[in-house]
Every structure is written in C-alpha cells, then in structure tokens.
C-alpha cells in the first residue's frame, strides 16, 4: 500500500504520535470514550486471561494495554513506528507485556487463525481498502473480530464530506470515510463471520460533545435522543462484534 496516502503519512509523525492521547482521550468526554471502549472489549472477549488477541492499528496502545492488563496475550500492530514508540513506552509504564510491531492492516504478517480474536478500532475509516482489512482480520482470527467505523447514516457523514472537500483544496486533513452498516455485515459474511453484537455510541458528533466538555450534559442530551429512537437510526461510531 502506498505510503503517500494520508493514513500513513499523517500518523508517521512524532508530533502526532506524542499528542495523540491528549487529542483523543483528554477531558471528561475523552475519558468516557476510553471507558466505553474498555468495557466493550471486556464484554466481547472475556474471559481474556490467556487468550491471544491482535490489536490492528494499535496506535499508542490504549486497547492493547487494557487487554494485556486483563491477562490477554496481546500483539499490537501499526503502520507507524512513531505511534508504536509511544505505545511501547506506555506499556512499560503500565507494567504489562505487549508485543508491538510495524505492519500494514491490509496484509497482516500472521498465519491463518493464529489469534483467538482481533480488534481494529478507528482504522477502517482511514484505510485505503477497508474490505481487504476486514478480510485480513477474519483470516487471522479463529473466533471473534471487533471493528468500529463512522456510520453512513449519521452526522459524521457531514463532517466526512466537509473534510474531503478541504483535502481536495490541498489542505492537510484526515479525510476519513463513513461506511454503511450493511456493507460491513456483508464483508464479514463473505469471510465466514456473522455479526453477533452492534453498538452505537452518540447521535451528535463527538467533537461537539468535546467542545461542550460536560459529561453530564452529554449523558442528558444523548439519553433524550436515544429515547426518541435516534441513537438506533443515527448513532455513530458503530462498533461491530463478529464471530466465526
């Protein structure tokens, strides 16, 4: 895959890698997102002790370290050596063992069904060929695969379109894609997996919640929207758990 694609060049930066956690997980909303992620992975992959789990697009290792803390045997792969450098330091600080390595999500350097489960968070939205990534995750996993993505039917589609226009104008930006849930289900089905759980996170854009910066307000507003049925219809990002 071309290293000129923004999904490679943007994250292969020391500045981006060192500021990644603060950008994604700072403040009450960032911490809430992290807690939700940990809870979902725990529920989907338990019991974790002794299970071989692959974290693809591990970034700074947040998911990988959390899984290792619960006793999983974790391998974290990422295309960015700079992100992995931060991840290794974080794992050492946490006192857990994670095997980190540079690899492309489109061609994982692992044998078929060599892992019990595979996790791939915030990657499909940036990948050159997300279907190929799903196929690779299914190939190396004997049991379960977990992915997330911004939904086509969501407010994220508006932001995605705006970012693509900005990138076409020549300005550097993460011009992520949105994906239809039905297409992801079809991709899993084509690789011998079926979706056993689907969860949607927010109706309103995450960046809006971060700007407001109040977890209480987020819970109140999102609760009202969920009661009106909008979370099921427009919730994003979507996390899917698929099983062989």
Q: What is the pLDDT of residues 123-178, one digit of tens each?
A: 999 999 999 999 999 999 999 999 999 999 898 777 766 666 766 666 666 668 89
Domain-located, residue 228: yes
Q: Using DSSP, state whether 169 is helix, strand or coil.
A: coil
Token pair 């700072």: residue: 26
Task: Judge residue 145's burial from the number of C-beta atoms within 10 Å of its C-beta, 0-12 exposed, 13-18 middle, 19 or more buried.
Answer: buried
Rounded distance between C-alpha atoms, residue 15 and residue 222, angstroms: 33
**Among the listed residues 203, 219, 232, 198, the one whose alpha carbon sits nearest the alpha carbon of residue 43:** 198
* Number of neighbours of residue 190 by Cβ within 10 angstroms: 12
In a domain, 101, yes or no: yes
- Is residue 113 situated within a structural domain? yes
- pLDDT greater than 60 at residue 233: yes
pLDDT for 30 = 84
Task: Indicate which CATH number applies to the domain containing 94.
Answer: 3.40.50.150
The answer to the question of residue 197 being in a domain is yes
Per-residue pLDDT tens for 52-66?
A: 999 999 999 999 999
Q: Is residue 186 part of a domain?
A: yes
**For the chain, what percent of residues have pLDDT higher than 70?**
89
Domain coverage including residue 49: 6-243
Instruction: Classify residue 1: in a domain, yes or no.
Output: no
| Domain membership flag for residue 148 | yes
DSSP class of 174: -
Residue whose token pair is 């060049």: 9
Distance CA 88, CA 58 (A): 11
CA distance 20 to 35: 17
The answer to the question of residue 62 being in a domain is yes
Number of neighbouring beta carbons within 10 Å of residue 136: 22
8 — pLDDT class (breaks 50, 70, 90): confident
Q: Using alpha carbons, select from 185, 163, 187 the residue that is nearest to residue 175.
A: 163
Number of domains making up the chain:
1
Residue 110 CA to residue 142 CA, distance in Å, equals 12
Q: Is residue 4 over pLDDT 70? A: no
Q: What is the CA radius of gyration of the chain?
A: 17
Work out whether strand 98-102 and strand 73-78 pair parallel, antiparallel, or are unpaired: parallel
CB 51 within 8 A of CB 26: no
The residue whose two tokens read 């299970």 is 51
pTM of the model: 0.90
């Amino acid at each position: 895959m071309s290293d000129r694609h923004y999904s490679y060049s943007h994250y292969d930066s020391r500045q981006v890698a060192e500021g990644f956690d603060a950008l994604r997980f700072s403040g009450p909303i960032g911490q809430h997102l992290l807690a939700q992620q940990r809870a979902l992975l725990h529920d989907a992959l338990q019991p974790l002790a002794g299970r071989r789990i692959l974290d693809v697009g591990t970034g700074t290792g947040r998911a990988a370290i959390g899984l290792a803390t619960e006793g999983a045997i974790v391998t974290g792969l990422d295309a960015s050596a700079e992100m992995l450098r931060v991840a290794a330091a974080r794992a050492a600080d946490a006192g857990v063992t994670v095997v980190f390595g540079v690899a492309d999500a489109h061609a994982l350097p692992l044998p078929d069904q060599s892992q019990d489960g595979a996790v791939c968070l915030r990657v499909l939205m940036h990948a050159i060929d997300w279907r190929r990534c799903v196929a690779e995750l299914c190939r190396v996993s004997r049991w379960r695969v977990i992915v997330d993505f911004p939904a086509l039917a969501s407010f994220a589609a508006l932001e995605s379109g705006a970012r693509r226009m900005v990138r076409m104008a020549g300005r550097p930006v993460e011009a992520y894609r949105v994906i239809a849930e039905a297409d992801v289900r079809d991709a899993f089905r084509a690789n011998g997996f079926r979706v056993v759980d689907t969860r949607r996170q927010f109706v309103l854009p995450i960046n809006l919640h971060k700007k407001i910066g109040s977890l209480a307000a987020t819970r109140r507003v999102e609760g009202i929207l969920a009661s009106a049925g909008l979370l099921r219809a427009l919730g994003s990002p979507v996390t899917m758990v698929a099983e062989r």
